[in-house]
Amino acid sequence: MNTPKLAIIVPCYNEELCIKNTAEKLLEVLDYLIKHNKIRRESFIYFVDDGSRDNTWKIMQYLHSQNRIFKGQRFLKNFGNQKAILAGLEAAQRFDCDCAVSIDADLQQDEWAIERFLDKYQKGYDVVCGIRNDRKTDSLFKKLTALAFYKTMNFLGANIPVNHSDFRLVSRKALNIMELYNERYLFLRGFFNDVGLKTAYVHFDVKPRFAGRSKFNLFSLSGMALNGITSYSVVPLRLVSILGFMMTIVAVILGSIAVCHKIFFSHFQHDWVIDFIMSCFFGGIELFCLGSIGEYIGQIFLEVKGRPRYITDLELK
């Protein structure tokens, strides 16, 4: 059995209230794992400050000055949690780690489940996804939007495990494959489940946020969900074509009926309320379809520009 070098990746956005506690708790886990020979001594904790406007970076610098097991980098501005995790994973690869685990800075996920992740890794799994047992700590709004997201993704054929956030272990092999993907907007949850690597699932109990508030709002959540959909499914585009085709058939049938009425019964019923409702209805469908296509065009637009995925301002090595 080879003892792996592990990196624990922690994306942080305005987490000054959490980060010290998180560092202590993760250090405890790391010490335990090193002591029990589950990971190598050179393993480390890697924070990614996603352009925080509070004291998150200062605390990271302090932690690094106290103990070099804490490393990290700071983004020039806020690039979003997916980019922060990605930057951490790329750093893990640069530091020649055998595997990396990403976990949220508020430690809602059970940090002790990392030991079970490593057991799966030792059994030959390249991706180990943490699955939350329930959503007790989530607001009703979060529960409903999450349910709608997973249902939609499944319906659209994108393979995303239900109740898996970004708490996962990935092996060096997975990191090397990730390097081959040049997408600007890589949706990690979709990517690691779609890529065909041997995947295991570990259940854990979710905890309430240690301090502070969720960093996601309706806008950022729907942005992430739309990115997930447009990155991993073209079904909406097909649905638009099918819908257009079906509407054409309905229009031809209704038009024929109206013409027959005119010819055989010499009367053509005209009701402006019906006209108005119908034009609103079909206008709505058309705009929805245009918007769906627009999402894909937007995605292409952002990808072809080839801008950097994130910009690192400073690094603590």
Taking CB under 6 A as the criterion, which residues in 36-75 touch ligand UDP?
Answer: 50
Question: Between residues 38 and 168, which has the closer beta carbon with respect to ligand UDP?
Answer: 168
Near ligand UDP by CB under 6 A: residue from 6, 7, 11, 125: 11
Distance between CA 279 and CA 60 in Å, rounded?
57
Cβ distance to ligand UDP smaller for residue 14 or 193: 14
Segment 65 to 104, residues that bind Mg ion, using CB under 5 A? 104
Torsion angle, alpha carbons of 200, 85, 194, 241, to 10: 140
**Closest-CA residue to 67 (of 92, 43, 98):** 43
Distances (CA, A) of 312 to 74, 75, 90, 124: 6, 5, 12, 33
Residues 6+ apart with CB under 8 A from 132: 109, 163, 164, 165, 203, 204, 205, 206
Closest separation between CB of residue 84 and Mg ion, Å? 13
**How far apart are CB 286 and ligand UDP at their closest, in Å?**
34
Q: Which of residues 273-292 bind Mg ion (CB under 5 A)?
A: none
Distance (Å, whole) CA 167 – CA 221? 17
- Determine if 106 is a binding residue for Mg ion (CB under 5 A): yes
Position among 22, 56, 108, 231 found at the interface with Mg ion (CB under 5 A): 108
Question: Site size for ligand UDP, by CB under 6 A?
Answer: 16
Give the number of other Cβ atoms within 10 Å of residue 247's Cβ. 14
CB of 16 to Mg ion, least distance (A): 15
Q: Which stretch binds Mg ion (CB under 5 A): 108-116, 144-152, 219-227, 303-311?
A: 108-116
- If contact means CB under 5 to 8 A according to the sort of partner, which of Mg ion, ligand UDP, none does residue 216 touch? ligand UDP
Pairing of strands 199-204, 312-316: unpaired
In sequence order, what E strands does the chain have? 6-12, 44-49, 70-75, 99-102, 127-132, 168-171, 199-204, 312-316
Pick the stretch among 102-110, 121-129, 242-250, 251-259 that binds ligand UDP (CB under 6 A). 102-110
Picked from Mg ion, ligand UDP, none, the partner binding residue 230 (CB below 5 to 8 A depending on kind) is none
Q: Tell which positions 70-89 bind ligand UDP, by CB under 6 A.
A: 78, 80-81, 84
Separation between Cα atoms, residue 61 and residue 49, nearest integer Å: 11
- Region near ligand UDP per CB under 6 A, out of 23-31, 100-108, 114-122, 272-280: 100-108
Q: How many CB atoms lie within 10 A of CB 162?
A: 13
Gap between the Cα atoms of 43 and 24, Å rounded: 15
Cα gap 292→76, rounded to integer Å? 32
Residues that bind ligand UDP (CB under 6 A): 11-13, 15, 50, 78, 80-81, 84, 104-106, 108, 214-216
Residues that bind Mg ion (CB under 5 A): 104, 106, 108
